[in-house]
Every structure is written in structure tokens, then in C-alpha cells.
Amino acid sequence: MATDGTAAAPMVHAIDEIVAKPGEGKALLGDYLARYAPGARARGMTLEQILVSPPMWLDDQSNTLVFRWSLAGAEAWWQMRFVGGNDPDVAAWWADADARAVSRRRFFASDPADIERLCDV
Amino acid sequence: MYKLTRLVTLSDPASVSALADEIHALATAHSAYRQLVAPTLAGSHFGGDLLAHFAFDDAAKRADFDAALAPLLAAPAVASVDGVAYRSEECGKSGPELANGIYRVLLLSVDEGTDPALVERFEAETRMMPYYIAAIRGWQLSRADEAIGARRWTHVWEQEYADAGGLMGPYMMHPYHWARIDRWFDPECPDRIVDARLCHSFCGFEGRVI
């Protein structure tokens, strides 16, 4: 790590956890990737990981979809937030996704090793 | 204290100084307990050209002043006004009292019909911001009794900083803000309860505001 103050901002993560309505999991994943992910990438987000639980497509029960995105620090986070938060297409996407979900969470996180630097503002 | 805040957008910003002088004189004549009338600083968003903030000992004095102020703010030079009347709620200070600095106010509107328990949780978490963000030197979160302007403003979130850097830097960049509090505001988060239209306004101050 650089010690001259030029080190890159600590990476931060935005995590979407969507519990799909029974039988909707596979289609909702496809729509997330087709309708949401391209715009998110344009807002500076990098899709690092997708997880599906349980690891099979359920017809009569819910799949949980987890998407982990990374952003290059708090400034990049605010850039993403300001653009996405004012885009009616993003709002329309989430309204549609929420109608096809039992529940949804979005939360933000970091590697524990980065907490001290993130808080040193 | 009974407070009144007006964020005044002018059709001709060159008239800001004259209007500020008139408002200041009016508030003095109405025995405002505290007053701050100052041009807003660059970076304000829907915050007006002039920030006018007053405190009175009782509701009647505030109402009298509000009635006297209204014609001034209905003048052709005024394009729009956002504002609130409210009673001071819990406030706090940290560090030595600031003799001057930056006063910032956020007017926000919680969606009608929001579960009151959620509103209380939002308020409690917001009041913890100064605990985590030391740059916030004075603060007060209040519910609005009356609102005018672009939204039915429900809350007033006031802060004092030593300088604008405290607002632009630590306040915005601390993870307690963006990774915790902002979910109440973020249209992408299912926890959102606050309307996207906000009035974010700040200006310099001398003396005491909060």
C-alpha cells in the first residue's frame, strides 16, 4: 500500500438481495442482468458476483438472488447514487422487480480492513 | 423556541442584498430571539438564493412575524419560497461553541402514510450522525408544523460546521451517511421513505443559530 497519500480509495460494495416470488427466480435474474446491470455498469458499478440460493431453480418456492457490486470508494458511490437516484428508468425497474419479489434488501459494505480508512474522512 | 425558515429564490439574484436588509430589519422589529439572513453558498441544491432563519420565544410572535414577512416574499423579485415553521426539538453541540462557521439546513418530506415506527427509527438514526461524524458541531432535527413550497416538508435537519469543508467532506463521505442513513433517501433502496426532492441549503453564520 502506498504511504504517500496517493493510495486508491478503499473499494466499497453494494449488495442486492432479492427473494423472488415462487417460480420467478430465473426470469428475474435474467431481467436484472438485461435491464438493470447495463445501466449500473454505466454508473461506475462492477458486478463482482452473483449467487443463487438454493442452487437450483424452484418452481413452487422462492429463490434468493444475491448480486455484489463494487465501487471505487465513497466518491464513486455518490456518483452512482446521484445518477441512479434521478433516473426514472431505474425507478421503473425497481418498481417492476419489487412486484416480482417477496422481499428485497440493498446494503453497502466493505472489507473489514478498509473500515478505518473509510471512516477517516 | 419557535422557529421559522424561508429559502428564497429570486428572479433577480442581484436583489439579494436589498431583500436581506429588509428581512433583517423586519425580524429585529419583531424581536426575533435569533436570526440568520444570508446568501446561500455554491453547492446548495434547491436551497434558494437567500437563507432566512428565525427563532422566537413563543408561537404568537412567530406568527406575527410570518404574517409581516409574507408580503415581502410575495414581491415580483421573489421567484419561489420553500420553508417551514417548527418548534425546536432535541439539539446538541460538540466541541467549543463556534463563533462563526457554516449553517446548513435540509428540508425533507417523508411520504404520507409511512409507518410511524419507521419515521421514529429514521429520526433516531439521523440524530446519531453527530456521534459518528465529528465535523458536525451543532445539530437539531425537528418535525415541521407548517410547510410551504415544492413539497409538504415534514422535517428540518439543521447542522453547524466550522467551515464548508466539514459539510462537503466528512458529512458526505463518512460511511454512516452514505452506507447507513442514505437508504432512507435512496430510490434504489426498499427502505426509502423520503421524497427525492430535497432543499439542501447552507450559508455562513456568526453568533449562534442552533
pLDDT in tens, A82-95: 999 999 999 999 99
Residues of the domain holding B194? 2-206
What is the least distance, in Å, from the CA of A21 to any CA of chain B?
16
pLDDT in tens, A4-20: 555 788 999 999 999 99
Q: Average pLDDT for residues A45-60, to the nearest whole number?
A: 98
Q: What is the pLDDT of residue B186?
A: 97
What is the pLDDT averaged over residues B17-41? Answer: 96
Count how many domains chain B has.
Answer: 1
How much is the average pLDDT of B85-91?
Answer: 90
Instruction: Assess whether pLDDT exceeds 60 at residue B170.
Output: yes
- State the CB neighbour count (10 A cutoff) for residue A29: 18
Contact A74 B173 (CB under 8 A): yes
Contacts of A84 in chain B (CB under 8 A): 187-188
At residue A3, the pLDDT reads 47
Bridge partners for B6 per DSSP: B52, B83
In this structure, are residues B110 and B122 in contact, taking their beta carbons and an 8 Å threshold? Answer: yes
Distance from CA of B25 to the nearest CA of A (A): 39
Q: Would the pLDDT of B20 be above 60?
A: yes
Model confidence at A2, in pLDDT bands (50, 70, 90)?
very low
* pLDDT at residue A6 in the model: 57
Segment B156-183 mean pLDDT: 97
Chosen from A81, A96, A120 to mutate, greatest number of chain B CBs within 10 A: A81
Q: In terms of DSSP bridges, do strands B91-93 and B50-56 run parallel, antiparallel, or are they unpaired?
A: unpaired
Closest CB from A85, A115, A118 relative to B187: A85
Kindly state the percentage of chain B with pLDDT values over 70.
Answer: 100
Nearest CA in chain A to B174: A119
> Which of A45, A108, A117 to mutate: most B Cβ within 10 Å?
A108
At B133 the three-state DSSP class reads coil
